[in-house]
Structure 1
Amino acid sequence: MNKLYLWGIIIAVAMLGATYATLGYLKDGLNGDIVNILAIAGAAALVIITIFVVIKYVRQMQVDHATGELADESWDNIGEYKNPVPFGWAIIFLGTIIWGLWYWTIGYPVNSFSQIGQYNEEVKTLNTAFDKKYANIKGDELVNMGESVYLVECVACHGLNADGNEEKDAADLNQRISVKSVKYVINHGLTGKLIGSEMAMPDRNGLFNTATGALITDAEIDSVAQYVANGMKDNKAGAKVFANVCAACHGPDGKGQAYVAPDIASWNQKLIVNVLTYGKVGAIGKMPIMDRLNAKQKEAVAAYVMSLSKGE
């Protein structure tokens, strides 16, 4: 017997034996279940067919010789056989292309049932009903809704106390901004759409002190970061740096300017909604886009976050 066939038999027996041995570890074996029986039978057939198909073609490569009509062209006296496409294969290939065009135009999924399509339609219907029911809520009701959404969508990162696990996992939402966050933005810049526009905050290499004509220094960054994080008060040195470096975009009071820069003095609804809509990269990491929330839910989360720092 040819060694190749012998090895094929040995491998097939070994794999079938391993399959049989595996069944012995199952609590109830096949348990008379026709599905289990068919699955094992299919696996056994697949093993046998695969091994002997491989053997057939390996054996064919060992003993067969190429025959046929050579093409007129040759390269370095190496000819190429004419291998016309089998007619049946060509028909199947063209048929597959035609079927594919039908599938993506007038066939499934355009004109057929789709679970994804059904889900999207149901979400659209429920969102419409939600918007209609809660369109006019405000005040404490809006804050309460925001707290509910926060506990479902935001608490995993920002924590129950909204402090971001002491700013280890996410930003502390009990304050407008931290010293660490201010310094990160100054050093690295910010491309997020905090006011919904394309305006980008330059990094430190684009920030000049108008009083000295020089780029902002590390000492000035520390000073202005303390000033901004402390609510823009009780820091004369930081206030001076802010006036000479930051006020041109953020305004003398830090309240920001439309289409130019966001409010960095206090929370506002538009800024929080934009962070939820577009995400944000900061000192702690990347805030993901919260596309699961609809417009009213984002507005509610903004109301809740703004309520956390009231009375400070």
Structure 2
Amino acid sequence: MNKLYLWGIIFTALMLVLTYLSVGGSEGGLNGDIVNMLGVAGAVALVLITVFVVIGYVRQMQEATADGQLADEQWDGIGEYLNDSPMGWSIMFFGLMVWGMWYFTMGYPVNSYSQIGEYNEDTAAHNAKFEAEYASITGSRLVEMGESVFLAECKICHGLTADGIDGKAADLNSRIAANSVKHAIENGSNNHLLGSEMPMPDRNGLFNSNTGALITDAEIDAVSKYVANGMKGAGADVFAGTCVACHGQDGKGMDFVAPSIATFTPALVTNVLNHGKKGAIGKMPAFKNLNAKQKEAVGAYITSLSK
């Protein structure tokens, strides 16, 4: 027998024995476990294919001679033969595609057990237990819960005291800054602050009913400072002529029309956490990792800061 084949048989037998010992000796072993059985089958197939391919190529290097037609293209004097794809390679290529389709549909369907799936189920069960246990919390206890969540999730950008860390993020101790109001007027806003698609037009769609013309730069500056100052001072006339129709006389918004720009509300904060927000400072991401009660609690905490 050719030494090459003999060494191939020895190597194959050794690898198969080691594979069996490693799986059979592990906790659970095979015992009908589809995952372990598929793992062993894959290991066996890998060993056999590897030995077969290596022996084939070694034999080819020992005995075969180059022939065939060279391609017209060359690279640094190195040509390439116009050979067909090796039959063994083609069979393995298509065989792996067939095996892959079988594996994902019948061998180990995508809806079968997985550690990620188990984690997601455990997380969903924990969240459901959490919401059921704390569903009745209101008032000061809800604010305390919100502070804990804020310190865990929000302080990295908004700071321990929610002051925005020198403009890194919004200062949550007041409802809105003048530059944020100006940005919303000039660029419009569609941040789902009502929990639905209710976009605010940009400056090209904002008329001052007092003048009958589009809002001007001077009027934008005035009303921005007025809103940021808690609906006080100069700019009240611009607000009355341009903003009252949607945000109301007191700036506290109207249901299904516009959000409050005078005060925070738990619902408004919850919508920001659900959808994220883009404004003058930048873009805040949505917080999908918080459950509904945690978002409500953060809303209660932030609302309590600006009172």
Counterpart of 2:51 in structure 1 is none
Partners of 1:220 and 1:66 lie apart in 2 by 84
Check if 1:267 corresponds to 2:268: no
From 280, 291, 297, the equivalent of 2:288 is 291
**Aligned CA-pair RMSD:** 2.6
After superposition, what is the alpha-carbon deviation per residue over 1:228-248, rounded to whole angstroms, capped at 9, x for unaligned?
A: 112213x2x411101111112
- Stretches of structure 2 that go unaligned for 5 or more consecutive residues are 1-56, 70-80
- CA gap of 1:109–1:140, structure 2 versus 1, over 3 A, is farther
Q: The residue matched to 1:106 in structure 2 has which SS?
A: helix
Check if 1:221 corresponds to 2:220: yes
- Report the Cα offset of residue 178 of structure 1: 1.2
Q: The residue matched to 1:271 in structure 2 has which SS?
A: helix
Counterpart of 1:94 in structure 2 is 94
- Report the Cα offset of residue 86 of structure 1: 4.0
**Alignment size in residue pairs:** 237
From 288, 304, 307, the equivalent of 2:304 is 307
Farther off after superposition, 246-255 or 275-284 = 246-255
- Report the Cα offset of residue 66 of structure 1: 5.3
Partners of 1:107 and 1:303 lie apart in 2 by 50
Partners of 2:186 and 2:202 lie apart in 1 by 5
Counterpart of 2:157 in structure 1 is 157
Q: The residue matched to 2:295 in structure 1 has which SS?
A: helix
From 246, 251, 255, the equivalent of 2:248 is 251
Check if 1:276 corresponds to 2:273: yes
Partners of 1:239 and 1:97 lie apart in 2 by 70
- Stretches of structure 1 that go unaligned for 5 or more consecutive residues are 1-52, 58-63, 69-80
Check if 1:202 corresponds to 2:201: yes
Counterpart of 1:139 in structure 2 is 139
Structure 1 segment 36-185 matched on structure 2, within 5 A: 67=68, 85-108=85-108, 110=110, 112-166=112-166, 168-185=167-184
- Report the Cα offset of residue 111 of structure 1: 5.3
Q: Does the Cα contact within 8 Å between 2:246 and 2:254 map onto a contact in 1?
A: yes
Q: The residue matched to 1:227 in structure 2 has which SS?
A: helix
Partners of 1:111 and 1:242 lie apart in 2 by 56
- CA gap of 1:111–1:305, structure 2 versus 1, over 3 A, is closer
Counterpart of 1:10 in structure 2 is none
- Report the Cα offset of residue 85 of structure 1: 4.8
Partners of 2:165 and 2:93 lie apart in 1 by 59
Q: TM-score, normalised by structure 1?
A: 0.70
Partners of 2:159 and 2:198 lie apart in 1 by 31
Partners of 1:243 and 1:259 lie apart in 2 by 20
The amino acid that maps onto 1:90 is S
Q: The residue matched to 1:163 in structure 2 has which SS?
A: coil
Partners of 1:274 and 1:283 lie apart in 2 by 18
The amino acid that maps onto 1:259 is F
Counterpart of 2:239 in structure 1 is 242
Counterpart of 1:38 in structure 2 is none
The amino acid that maps onto 1:117 is G
Partners of 1:66 and 1:191 lie apart in 2 by 68
After superposition, what is the alpha-carbon deviation per residue over 1:79-126, rounded to whole angstroms, capped at 9, x for unaligned?
A: xx9855544333222211111212322334625542211211111111
- Report the Cα offset of residue 258 of structure 1: 2.4
The amino acid that maps onto 1:211 is N
Q: TM-score, normalised by structure 2?
A: 0.71
Q: Does the Cα contact within 8 Å between 2:68 and 2:82 map onto a contact in 1?
A: no
Partners of 2:68 and 2:283 lie apart in 1 by 64
